[in-house]
Every structure is written in C-alpha cells, then in structure tokens.
Amino acid sequence: MMTIFDIIADPTRRQILDLLLQRPHTVNELVGAVEISQPGISKQLRILREAGLVDVQQEAQMRWYELRPEPLQEIDKWLSAYRQMWSSRYERLDEYLKQVQEEDKHHGDE
C-alpha cells in the first residue's frame, strides 16, 4: 500500500494537486494543463482519490475534481520539526548579522 509520501513523490500527481489547490478542475482541463493523455490523468486521479486527496463532484455530464487537503496534514506534521530547526537557524543567523553590523558601526566610528 502506498503512503501519502509515496503518492506525492510523483511529480505529475504534485502538479495535479497544485492545480486543484487553485480551484476544482475537470479531467479535460487537467489534460490541457498537465499535458499528458486523458487515461494518464485518469490513472493519477484514481490514485489521488484512493488516497483521499481528491473528491469528485458530478454535475450533469461533467466530473469536477477538487482537493481534499486533510490527508496532507500528516506531511505538515512531519515537516514541523524541520521548520522549527530552520527557524532556529535563521534566528541565529539574524543575531549574527546584527552583531556584524554593530561591529561594522563601531569600526566605522574609529
């Protein structure tokens, strides 16, 4: 069974998710935007639906695919530790740069 990480590892599926983040799309719209065949888009949408990342709404003969962001919370949770690490590093860099600027001011006054 594929994990959410396996599913979003595919660049085509990520591109589809990016498009669906903007608004719901039909298969034909996705075919034009992603530039792969209709069967290829349908296959990727099936994988995304099975993972719970996409919902389908039928409107007459049209099927609209829209993003379900809730499953992405698993990734967000995993990434939070990395965000904290980078935030800490940026804060230290900011402190260092302020220190360098202060030292430059003092050397400029001499």
pLDDT tens-digit series, residues 19-33 = 999 999 999 999 999
Checking if the pLDDT of 110 tops 70, the result is no
The answer for residues whose C-beta is within 8 angstroms of residue 91's C-beta and 6 or more apart is none
Q: What does pTM read for this prediction? A: 0.73
pLDDT digits (tens, 9 = 90+) for 31-78: 999 989 999 999 999 999 999 999 999 989 999 999 998 988 888 888
Checking if the pLDDT of 107 tops 80, the result is no
- Looking at residue 109, what is its pLDDT? 65
How many whole angstroms separate alpha carbon 35 and alpha carbon 29?
A: 10
HSE-CB of 91 using CA atoms within 13 angstroms: 6
Q: Which residue has the higher pLDDT, 44 or 100?
A: 44
HSE-CB of 49 using CA atoms within 13 angstroms: 12
